[in-house]
Structure 1
Amino acid sequence: MRAKAVRMYGTRDLRLEEFELPEIRDDEILAKIYSDSICMSTYKLVEQGKKHKRAPQNMDTHPVIVGHEFAGVIVKVGKKWQDQFQPGMRFAQQPALNYKGSLASPGYSYEWYGGDTTYCIFPHETMELGALMPFDGDSFYKASLGEPMSCCIGGYHAMYHTNKQNYDHEMGTKRGGNILIAGGCGPMGLGSVSYGLVCDYHPRRIVVTDVDDAKIERAKEVVSPEYAAEHGVELIYANTAKMDDPRQGLMDLTQGHGYDDVFVMVPIPSVCQLAGSVLAFDGCLNFFSGPTDKNFSASMNMYDLHYTSTHLMGTTGGNNDDLIEANQLAASGRLDPSVMITHVGGIDSIAETTLNLPKIKGGKKLAYTQFDMPMTAIEDFAKLGKSDPFFAKLDQCCRDHKGLWNPEAERMLFEHKGVKVEV
């Protein structure tokens, strides 16, 4: 099987190239990949190269396929799995394998297994761990975004609270409580806001902060306070840079109660410190954003940690249950991960986009691997449409969906590029 993929050979060394995939073994599965959303974690991988904890030391001679937020269709099934999987099945996958203590994951560690490719081979450990699962949604991109959304869901599930009567931990965000999502107008923040509106914990209020008015305005458009009110949640967007006293300003939004659960979405010491200072009694702070600096630190009030029962923690990734929940919510229409996406491109745009990811404004960059296309902002479709009738149609399609990427737009793009979906 001939494949085309973005492969990593070392620090900032990404190459789009064609190669021959080996024949699958009896305990493996061959899949055709249609979509992969580009994750900041991949940028961190290419910046660190062999120093990354998931990177193999022989990648200079056995390069790895990058990308781990991918979806597609099963093409061929090894004998061991033929009673569970069939060709033509659409799938989602959980890349956080942790197989027998190994840190190996698709997009980081495998020569034939990753998302930024036309075809890849699932190794036996993926199926043994139940990390390959059917997806019944109406598009590939929603299955790709199941992985980042599962990270948001895992963050909610991992929060915990206690009481003074016993040492039992009540897992999850506090029901009827106040949630702060600090630095939350990026893709993962908006994913977390969206889940907070439909999750079983059902908060009373969600406050989302940022220091960029343009990002706040877009966030209000895609996840509006009016939409949140329909779900019984008060949603407030706040620019802390415009507050005379950010701590007091945030506390005032809760009538002085503080925040029962806080997610810190950006690795900035001052944001961490502000977030810690507004925790309520028995509040839980989740440092959600992974820094690239191994020496990153921020000061916290240890007096409050002791006397007001505050909790500090961090989460990364989600588990199989989180991904299943994300897929079910997306397939049912209760949760729309489209709020994360601001750019769409083809396989030829992946390497450059990944290498420059922090410099490209907006949210998630979605790549389709079966064709070439420059990475293009959805907001630029209208301008491109003045000279290209297809982009004019694509722009109108997105406008019909609050300016968001959507299943109809995906189908239009596939048809325009001559991509036939395997069944």
Structure 2
Amino acid sequence: MLAAKFHGIEDIRVQEVPKPQVGLGEVLVRTRVASICTSDIEAYCLGHKKLADYCPDTRATRTPGHEFAGDVVEIGPDVKGISEGTRVAIAPNYGCGKCRFCRKGIYPLCPERRTIGLDVDGGFAEYVKIPKEAVDQGVVCAFSENLPYEEAALNEPLACAYNGLMRCNIQPGEVVLVAGGGPVGMMHVVLAKLRGAKKVIVAEQSGDRQETARKFGADAVVNPMDKDYVDAVRKLTDDRGADVIIIACGATKAQEMAPYLAATQGRINFFGKVPVDKQIIGLNSNLIYSKELSIYGAYGSRPAHFAITLSLLDSRKIDLSGLISRRFSAKEIPEAYKSALANTKASTGMKTIICFT
């Protein structure tokens, strides 16, 4: 079968490798569509300690990819509730099953968390073996023929966005500011609207992404680089500020500005990861104190979130087809990475996907 293999920084190769064999409790998925995530691009450009530990040379290499959907083609002994031929998307994180987070189903916070596409081979291959521990924790989620594989592959970041919104507990009638008009920012927009937000404002400097934000339902778009950015947000919120602010980008300035843009008793979610060399930021703690602001993080998603958002896609309450910018074949995965990297640098385009059929 064809599989992409990580050989080092900016070195991803498509190779012929043996098809995985399933064992006790395991599931084999034939990949139909996979999507390139920002974290895939980060590992491609900077490397990753887990990938580096696994492939110090070309004798052992990892297949990345944690956003993917396909068909169950084989199940191992002792697998229950999953049938061959089922269309599925995969929640990539699973845990030890014993710690306090795993007992609550919050597998991304498990100290021994493992991720498909990082700790084990992932979705940039024609076939993916799902480990028994992951299967037991409910990562294999079915969907119907109503939902195209392309959109099902985007459910992983959608579930992460859902986790972020639930952390902030958006209420009907509230005003939400989404800082960042990339793919995940658009997912926050549609989810906030579904939660009943009265107004959703997107802060984005790219003209192309501003237009996409409007298409995805943003009620207003502002440019965070304008000198009157704070005044513009306050004008759009009747001088109150936003009840909820989602920082859906990796800009430290966006995090630092959030207390100035938030309403009294507002909630702020630092959803986007910032560069490691810029992770220490300056916040106006007096504003956090005097406005009684709450600041949250949101890391990954749990299978329960994954199932909820997949259902929203399957019922067509959410349509993410407009986020797909470019499509590549399995043999073109190296070119797909280069295209996704160019989009990231230029803040143009949205999701780059890989089609295996």
TM-score, normalization by structure 1: 0.75
Q: Check the 8 A contact 1:276/1:301 in 2, yes or no.
A: yes
User: Deviation of residue 262 (structure 1)?
Assistant: 0.4
User: Deviation of residue 195 (structure 1)?
Assistant: 1.1
Question: Is 1:116 matched with 2:116?
Answer: no
Give, in whole Å, the separation in 2 of the partners of 1:369 and 1:276: 45
Larger radius of gyration: 1
Question: Is 1:206 matched with 2:200?
Answer: yes
Partner residue of 2:87 out of 79, 87, 90: 90
DSSP-derived class of the 2:312 partner: helix
1:99 corresponds in structure 2 to 96
DSSP-derived class of the 1:57 partner: helix
Residue correspondences, number: 337
Q: How does 1:9-408 map to 2 (within 5 A)?
A: 9-51=7-49, 54-55=50-51, 57-59=53-55, 60=57, 61-81=59-79, 83-100=80-97, 101-110=111-120, 113-136=121-144, 137-159=146-168, 172-183=169-180, 185-199=181-195, 202-220=196-214, 222-224=215-217, 235-241=219-225, 243-355=226-338, 357-360=340-343, 361-370=348-357
Structure 2 gaps, min length 5: 98-110
Q: Check the 8 A contact 1:37/1:365 in 2, yes or no.
A: yes
Q: Check the 8 A contact 1:43/1:357 in 2, yes or no.
A: yes
Give, in whole Å, the separation in 1 of the partners of 2:73 and 2:328: 24
TM-score, normalization by structure 2: 0.89
Report the residue type matching 1:365 in the other structure. Answer: T
Q: Check the 8 A contact 2:159/2:309 in 1, yes or no.
A: yes
Give, in whole Å, the separation in 2 of the partners of 1:269 and 1:24: 44
Report the residue type matching 1:223 in the other structure. Answer: F
Give, in whole Å, the separation in 1 of the partners of 2:93 and 2:130: 14
The superposition leaves residues 250-308 of structure 1 with CA deviations (integer Å, 9 ceiling, x where unpaired) of 11110111111101122222222222211111111111111232542321110112222
Structure 1 gaps, min length 5: 160-171, 226-234, 371-423
Residues 85, 56 of structure 1: alpha-carbon distance in 2 compared, 3 angstrom cutoff: farther
Give, in whole Å, the separation in 1 of the partners of 2:256 and 2:188: 21
Report the residue type matching 1:121 in the other structure. Answer: K
Identity across aligned pairs (percent)?
23
RMSD, aligned CA: 1.8
Report the residue type matching 1:334 in the other structure. Answer: K
Give, in whole Å, the separation in 1 of the partners of 2:308 and 2:25: 27
Report the residue type matching 1:316 in the other structure. Answer: Y
Residues 16, 292 of structure 1: alpha-carbon distance in 2 compared, 3 angstrom cutoff: farther
Give, in whole Å, the separation in 2 of the partners of 1:193 and 1:28: 36
Q: Check the 8 A contact 1:4/1:118 in 2, yes or no.
A: yes
Higher RCO structure (Cα 8 Å, ≥6 apart): 2
Report the residue type matching 1:154 in the other structure. Answer: N
User: Deviation of residue 62 (structure 1)?
Assistant: 2.5
DSSP-derived class of the 2:301 partner: coil
Q: Check the 8 A contact 2:202/2:213 in 1, yes or no.
A: no
The superposition leaves residues 144-171 of structure 1 with CA deviations (integer Å, 9 ceiling, x where unpaired) of 1111110111110111xxxxxxxxxxxx
Report the residue type matching 1:363 in the other structure. Answer: M
User: Deviation of residue 9 (structure 1)?
Assistant: 2.7
DSSP-derived class of the 2:165 partner: helix
Give, in whole Å, the separation in 2 of the partners of 1:16 and 1:7: 6
User: Deviation of residue 356 (structure 1)?
Assistant: 5.3
Give, in whole Å, the separation in 1 of the partners of 2:176 and 2:303: 25
